[in-house]
Structures are given as C-alpha cells and as structure tokens.
Amino acid sequence: MEKFHNLPLEKQSLVINAELEAFGTNGYKKTSVSDIANTAGISKAMIFHYFKTKKDLYFYLLNFCVNLVMEEINDKFDCSVTDFFDRIKMATVLKIAVIKKHPACLTYLNSVYYEANEEVKDEIASMMSQGDAFRNKYVFEGLDYSKFKDSVDVTLVMKMLMWISEGFTNPSKSLQTKDLDTICDDFYESLNLLRNNLYKEQYL
C-alpha cells in the first residue's frame, strides 16, 4: 500500500471515504470498483494500482477502521477505572468518538458485521476474533468484581453486557451517525439499571 500512502492525505481521505461508502452501502459482492473510482475521482486502473484486488482493498479498509478504534483506546483508555460498568461505558464512549470523527466507517462496519460472502467471511471472522481479544484485554483486565452481589454470576453478566453493547453499536445497516447520541443514552440507562440491581447496596 506504499504507493497509496504516498498520496497527499486529502486525496487518501477522499478515496477511503468513497470506498467505505460503496462497500457499506452495497456489501462486498455488489460493490463495483468502477463506482468507487468514479466517486473518488480517479481511474479504476489506479484503484488496482494501489490495492491490487478488490479483496485487498476491502480488508485494507477493515484494518483502517479497526486501527482507528485501537489507537483511540491505546491513547485514551484509563486502566485506573476499575468499576465494571464505568469501564464498559468508557470503552463505548471511545468507540463512538471514533465513529463521529470518521462517519463513513459506521456504514462500512455495519456492513462487515452482516457480511456473508464466502470470499471474505472467514477472514472477517478471524479479524473479529482478534478484535475480541484486544477488547477483552482492555475492558475486563483489572476490574473490581467485589461490588457485585454474592449471588451474581459475573461471567454471565460480562457476556450479557457484550451482547447488549454489540447490539447497540451494530443494530442495523440503516443506523446513522445522528442516531448515536440517542442510542448511547439508552445504553447508559441500561448500564445503570444493571448496576442498581446487581451491585451490593453500599456501592450504589
């Protein structure tokens, strides 16, 4: 990708946003490299010159989006926050901040989440599992579980919260950036509801 990275940043951004929008709207199979080239204002030959194949381009974009999230977490994640629910909220805030800075990523990532094309689905699953390991390291390591009621199965709570979190941040292909604040407010209310019912009284 060195030739692409030698382009001016403004041109790189234009091409990347065109590609994200095209794959996000049409999915992997139906996305035309010609359409991407037209939207980006470059030739189809240049797309292949930079990325070799459509599949290479697709996974370049996935790595681009994932790295944006990882960089945000690496820079701003506060490991001194040990409260279970505060940690979940912090991770969500950072993820949403990235999406707001790069709105084109939202449609693309939602499309990837539901992509079932045989040519790419196994590699997507592999990358998602790596992302899960990264997330688990940051979200769950060093947490204070003593605040939970003795009867609570914390492992089950962890699984449930990740399902809820994924549901809120990947609810449908029609999700728009403008909906994020409302969705986050609902998610944070859900966190407070769980906290109030699962924590020992002295920690409320």
| The CATH number fitting domain 61-203, selected from 1.10.3470, 1.10.357, 2.40.50, 1.20.120 | 1.10.357
Residue 172 pLDDT level (bands cut at 50, 70, 90): very low
Count CB atoms within 10 A of the CB of residue 140. 16
Residue 169, pLDDT > 60, answer no
Determine the pLDDT at residue 175.
Answer: 54
CA dihedral 143, 181, 99, 117 (to 10 degrees): 90
User: What amino acid occupies position 164?
Assistant: I
Average pLDDT over every residue of 121-148: 85
Residue 89, pLDDT > 50, answer yes
Residue with tokens 């940051």: 138
Residue 9, pLDDT > 50, answer yes
List the domain boundaries for the chain.
Answer: 61-203
Average pLDDT over every residue of 18-29: 90
Lowest mean pLDDT among 154-163, 171-180, 184-193: 171-180
CA dihedral 132, 133, 137, 141 (to 10 degrees): 80
Strand ranges in the chain using DSSP code E only, listed in sequence order = none
What is d(CA 122, CA 127) in angstroms, rounded to the nearest whole number?
A: 9
Determine the pLDDT at residue 167.
Answer: 63
What is d(CA 200, CA 204) in angstroms, rounded to the nearest whole number?
A: 7
As a whole number of Å, the end-to-end CA separation of the chain is: 51
Lowest mean pLDDT among 38-42, 87-91, 128-132: 128-132
